[in-house]
Homo-oligomer: A and B are copies of this chain.
Amino acid sequence: MSGEDASGTHPRPAMTPADHAELALTLEVASTPKPGNVDRRRDHDDLRFEHFLAGAVGSRPGLKLAEGDAPIGDAFERAVHGMSQQGGGNTQFGCLLLLVPLVRGAATDRLSPDGLRDVTAATTVDDAAAFYRAFESVDVAVSDPPADASALDVRRGADAVPALRDRGLTLADVMGLSADRDGNAAEWTSGFERTFDAADRVLDDDGPVTDRLARLFVDLLADRPDTLVAVEHGAERAEEVRREAAAIDGLDDAEELAERFLDAGINPGTTADLVAATAFVALERGVPV
């Protein structure tokens, strides 16, 4: 996605990391079928495709902060606020939680597992406070915290900030507290290894990028239980969903599963977040669109 200006009057750079992140958000929702999620062919009742488009454009100022040298937490808080300025509610909170550090990694030549470990390790208590404040923009479905950590329940929003400061927890520390039950937090604590592995698979696949991402979605869903499904329907149902995804063969089969999950209110949102993160890495590495 770069080129020379025939007239020589304007430099014409390739897309920047913030551009790729915004495009990744739209490619994620355009990829179909992604069983249980809003996609190009399916809306939920009050959460429609266009809400995701507006969320992607709205998140851009935060993504630009991530591309610069603003604190990661501020970039995330700004991205979430901008994302939330549409009528569908929470469209891309989890996607942005993954994309903000990935954009920072790409902008600083550290788009690798080791590089992302550096990015997350550098987060601060202020970043954690901004992350908590971001929950005040939208309703996010999360699991209950451990009994000894209720002061740190993200649903407390800014009210939890004094407890964060008392304990000196950075954003990476906060992610570590829920990595065992939240797929996005697990990416934060593992150098985004699942995302990078998935990006390699997308680059090795062929056909339109949205078909590659749809195939990836089913593969990821078959690989591990979706943690949003576990929050909303319990661990047992999340494991059943994983098995249903593992049993299907090809995108045609996935169409049928998409109808079934939609009817049952099964929304594997964490897997969709991973698809957006993967799309970003794949775009940075040159997957054609």
Which residues of A approach B to under 8 Å, CB–CB?
1-3, 5-7, 9-10, 12, 14-15, 19, 22-23, 26-27, 30, 40-41, 48-51, 53-54, 56-58, 60, 74, 77-78, 81-82, 85-87, 133, 136-137, 157-158, 208-210, 288-289
- Contact assessment for B289 and A51 in the assembled complex, using a CB-CB cutoff below 8 Å: yes
Given contacts A48-B208, A58-B15, contact A85 B26 (CB under 8 A): no
| Nearest CB on B from A79, distance (A) | 11
Given contacts A3-B85, A15-B57, A133-B6, contact A40 B51 (CB under 8 A): no
| Nearest CB on B from A105, distance (A) | 20
- Contact assessment for B19 and A81 in the assembled complex, using a CB-CB cutoff below 8 Å: no
A59 vs B86: C-alpha distance in the bound complex, in angstroms? 22
Name the B residues within 8 Å of A136 (CB-CB): 6-7
| Nearest CB on B from A217, distance (A) | 15
Name the B residues within 8 Å of A51 (CB-CB): 289
- Contact assessment for B57 and A19 in the assembled complex, using a CB-CB cutoff below 8 Å: yes
The 8 residue pairs across chains A and B that have the minimum distance between CB atoms: A1-B85, A54-B289, A26-B53, A23-B57, A6-B136, A7-B133, A50-B210, A86-B289
A6 vs B162: C-alpha distance in the bound complex, in angstroms? 16
Name the B residues within 8 Å of A2 (CB-CB): 85
A208 vs B54: C-alpha distance in the bound complex, in angstroms? 13
| Nearest CB on B from A208, distance (A) | 6
A157 vs B6: C-alpha distance in the bound complex, in angstroms? 10
What are 19 pairs between A and B in contact, CB < 8 Å? A1-B54, A1-B58, A6-B137, A6-B157, A7-B77, A7-B158, A10-B78, A14-B85, A15-B57, A15-B58, A15-B85, A19-B58, A23-B54, A26-B53, A27-B50, A30-B49, A41-B41, A48-B208, A49-B210
Given contacts A74-B10, A289-B86, contact A5 B54 (CB under 8 A): no
- Contact assessment for A10 and B40 in the assembled complex, using a CB-CB cutoff below 8 Å: no
A80 vs B158: C-alpha distance in the bound complex, in angstroms? 44
- Contact assessment for B158 and A6 in the assembled complex, using a CB-CB cutoff below 8 Å: yes
Name the B residues within 8 Å of A6 (CB-CB): 133, 136-137, 157-158
A168 vs B137: C-alpha distance in the bound complex, in angstroms? 54
A6 vs B6: C-alpha distance in the bound complex, in angstroms? 48
| Nearest CB on B from A143, distance (A) | 24
| Nearest CB on B from A90, distance (A) | 15
| Nearest CB on B from A26, distance (A) | 4
Name the B residues within 8 Å of A288 (CB-CB): 87
Name the B residues within 8 Å of A87 (CB-CB): 288-289
A7 vs B126: C-alpha distance in the bound complex, in angstroms? 13
A288 vs B46: C-alpha distance in the bound complex, in angstroms? 13
A208 vs B158: C-alpha distance in the bound complex, in angstroms? 33
Given contacts A48-B208, A81-B12, contact A57 B26 (CB under 8 A): yes
